[in-house]
Amino acid sequence: MVISKKPLHFIIATLVALLPLLSSANTNNTSSSSIETTSKEHANKSEGHDVENANLTEEQKADLDRKAYIKHHLMDSHDFTIFTYGKEGEKHFGFPLPVILYDNGLHFFSSSKFEHGESVAESNGSFYKINHHDGLVYRTDAEGNFTEDEKGHVTNVKPLDFSITKNIFMILIVGLMMFFLFRDLGKSYKQNGSVATGVGRFFEPIVLYIRDDIAIPNIGEKHYKKYMSFLLTIFFFIWFLNMFGLTPLGVNITGNLAITASLAVITYLITTFTAKKDYWGHIFWMPGVPVPMKFILAPIELLGTIIKPFSLMIRLYANMVAGHIVLMSLIALMYTFNSPIGSPLSFFLAFVLSLLEILVALLQAYIFTMLAALYFGAAVEEHHHDEAHH
Amino acid sequence: MEIPKIIGAGLVVIGAGIGIGKIGGSAMDAIARQPEATGKIQTAMLIAAALIEGIGFAALFAVN
Chain A residue numbers touching B54 (CB-CB < 8 A): 311, 314-315
Chain A residue numbers touching B43 (CB-CB < 8 A): 213, 370
Do A297 and A365 fall into the same domain?
A: yes
> For residue range A12-31, what is the model confidence (pLDDT) as tens digits?
777 666 665 554 444 433 33
Do A267 and A358 fall into the same domain?
A: yes
Secondary structure, 3-state, chain A: CCHHHCHHHHHHHHHHHHHHHHHHHHCCCCCCCHHHHHHHHHHHHHHCCHHHHCCCCHHHHHHHHHHHHHHHHHCCCCEEEEEEECCCCCEEEEEECEEEEECCCEEEEEHHHHCCCCCCEEECCEEEEECCCCCCEEEECCCCCCCECCCCCECCECCEECCCCHHHHHHHHHHHHHHHHHHHHHHHHHHCCCCCCCCHHHHHHHHHHHHHHHHHHHHCCCCCHHHHHHHHHHHHHHHHHHHHHHCCCCCCCCCCHHHHHHHHHHHHHHHHHHCCHHHHHHHHCCCCCCHHHHHHHHHHHHHHHHHHHHHHHHHHHHHHHHHHHHHHHHHHHHHHHCCCCHHHHHHHHHHHHHHHHHHHHHHHHHHHHHHHHHHHHHHHCCCCCHHHCC
| ipTM confidence | 0.74
- Taking CA–CA distances from B54, the nearest residue in chain A reads A315
State yes or no: pLDDT of A52 exceeds 70. no
B57 touches chain A (CB under 8 A): yes
Give me the residue from B47, B57, B61 closest to A370, CB to CB: B47
Do A329 and A245 fall into the same domain?
A: yes
Whole-number Å distance between alpha carbons of A289 and A287: 6
Do A301 and A370 fall into the same domain?
A: yes
Kindly report the CA angle at A315 between B61 and A210, in degrees rounded to 5?
Answer: 175
B62 touches chain A (CB under 8 A): no
| Domain of A284, in residue numbers | 167-388
Do A190 and A219 fall into the same domain?
A: yes
> For residue range A322-375, what is the model confidence (pLDDT) as tens digits?
888 888 888 888 877 777 888 888 889 999 999 989 988 999 999 999 999 999
Q: Within the 187-206 window of chain A, which residues sit less than 8 Å (CB to CB) from chain B?
A: none
Q: Residue B21 — pLDDT band, cuts 50, 70, 90?
A: very high
Give me the residue from B39, B43, B54 closest to A315, CB to CB: B54
Could you tell me the pTM of the whole model?
0.79
Do A154 and A171 fall into the same domain?
A: no
Do A188 and A253 fall into the same domain?
A: yes
Do A274 and A342 fall into the same domain?
A: yes
Do A264 and A196 fall into the same domain?
A: yes
Residue A271, burial from CB neighbour count under 10 angstroms (0-12, 13-18, 19+)? buried
Q: Residue A250 is inside which H or E element, if any?
A: none
- Taking CA–CA distances from B47, the nearest residue in chain A reads A367
- Is B47–A367 a contact, with Cβ atoms under 8 angstroms apart? yes
Give me the residue from B39, B46, B61 closest to A314, CB to CB: B61
Nearest-CA distance A271 → chain B (Å): 19
- A83 lies in some domain: no
> For residue range B40-51, what is the model confidence (pLDDT) as tens digits?
898 888 888 888
- Is A314–B51 a contact, with Cβ atoms under 8 angstroms apart? no
| Domain of B51, in residue numbers | 2-63
State yes or no: pLDDT of A233 exceeds 90. yes
When divided into structural domains, chain A yields a total of 2
Do A123 and A255 fall into the same domain?
A: no
Higher pLDDT, A266 or B9: A266
When divided into structural domains, chain B yields a total of 1
Do A143 and A237 fall into the same domain?
A: no
The pLDDT score that the predictor gives to residue A369 is 94
Do A220 and A152 fall into the same domain?
A: no
B7 touches chain A (CB under 8 A): no
Query: Residue B45 belongs to a domain with what CATH number?
Result: 1.20.20.10
